[in-house]
Amino acid sequence: MSNIVIFATQIATVLSFIIAVFFLYRLLVKTKDATIQLLQEKVTGLEKQLDDAKAAGPDVLAKNLSDRVQLYEQELERLSKDDKKNASAIKEKEGQLRNVKTELSYLEGQLEQAQVVMAEFFCPYCKSPMITREYRSQMVEYDGHEIDDDSEYVEFECGLSLEDSHELSPCPEKEGTVLESKI
């Protein structure tokens, strides 16, 4: 083989390598752009869901019901000024007011129950959320008998960790407070 053929082959090999590298680079860039676009769409969707959840939260519902109660009371007051003329309207509004007050008290009870249940999932000192809850079981042999030792490990985002309600690492916000509930 002559030097020219070897040189041409090497140039062709280098050029094909460079083309392959650029092709792979463009493919990776397109994949990255598609991934970024997909993540942006997911973020947008999640932000919309968060806004919807905030708008339908129990606090918003309780406020709306309180506003309705106040509106009905004002309307009853206005209607009661002319008793004879508006007697049927007053009775209707009083019934509506009773229904709304019943609904409001039911919602407040549900909200209190939810807060009691949710308190278990937040740090009792700084209210940071729970990140780990594990139930551990181990068999221990003592004096020829097997003993089953069960324990619960709980860890919060703030750093507080508990094992069977015994503090393994403290919460940074804890300053002389007493652990209120047994976890």
Domain housing 64: 57-119
Same-domain pairing of 100 and 155: no
Give me 121's structure tokens: 């999932």
Kindly state whether residue 145 falls inside one of the protein's structural domains: yes
> Domain end: 90, 119, 148, which one?
119
Kindly state whether residue 90 falls inside one of the protein's structural domains: yes
Measure Cα distances from 87 to 31, 38, 45, 77, 98 in Å: 72, 61, 51, 12, 17
Kindly state whether residue 105 falls inside one of the protein's structural domains: yes
Same-domain pairing of 126 and 181: yes
Same-domain pairing of 114 and 127: no
Total structural domains in the chain? 2
- pLDDT tens, 106-157? 888 888 888 887 778 888 888 888 888 888 777 777 777 777 777 888 998 8
- pLDDT tens, 3-53? 999 999 999 999 999 999 999 999 999 999 999 999 999 999 989 988 877
pTM as predicted: 0.39
> Domain end: 72, 93, 119, which one?
119
Kindly state whether residue 5 falls inside one of the protein's structural domains: no
